[in-house]
């Protein structure tokens, strides 16, 4: 059963801009897509640049995929799956996310 942890308030989010939040021992990058109002939560850690920077990346799309471009070496990660577009052997973790009474919550199994 999924348990939900409040990570921030919806008012903390700016469309098409990332927000970094602490989630347990990890940093999570949270994005609100301006085009669709979809929420995404992924690891903030860039496996290529080896730094917690993905929340500072640029949100966009490649084909039908909504992606975040790393601000360091510009690899693109699919926000739905975490898969790196340029190197399919690399991916980042994604997290279930929802809005609940003005709170943004991440799911924990």
83 within some domain: yes
Expressed as residue numbers, the domain containing 61 is 3-104
Banded model confidence at residue 71, pLDDT cuts 50, 70, 90: very high
In a domain, 42, yes or no: yes
Domain for residue 109, yes or no?
Answer: no
Number of domains in the chain: 1
Statement: residue 49 has pLDDT above 90: yes
Domain with 69 in it: what CATH number?
A: 2.102.10.10
Asked whether residue 19 is domain-assigned, the answer is yes
pLDDT in tens, 6-20: 999 999 999 999 999
The pLDDT confidence band at residue 109, using thresholds 50, 70 and 90, is confident
Per-residue pLDDT band at 36 (split at 50, 70, 90): confident
43-56 per-residue burial string, b: 16 or more CB within 10 A, e: under 16: bbbbbeeeebbbbb
User: Which pLDDT value is given to residue 24?
Assistant: 86
pLDDT at 5 over 90: yes
Single pTM value for the model:
0.94
């Amino acid at each position: 059963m999924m348990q939900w942890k409040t990570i921030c308030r919806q008012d903390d989010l700016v469309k098409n801009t990332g927000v970094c939040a602490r989630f347990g021992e990890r940093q999570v990058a949270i994005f609100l897509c301006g085009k669709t109002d979809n929420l995404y939560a992924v690891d903030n850690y860039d496996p290529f640049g080896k730094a917690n920077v993905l929340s500072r990346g640029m949100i966009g799309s490649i084909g039908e995929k909504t992606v975040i471009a790393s601000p360091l070496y510009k690899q693109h990660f699919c926000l739905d799956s975490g898969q790196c577009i340029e190197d399919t052997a690399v991916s980042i973790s994604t997290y279930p996310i929802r809005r609940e009474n003005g709170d943004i919550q991440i799911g924990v199994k």
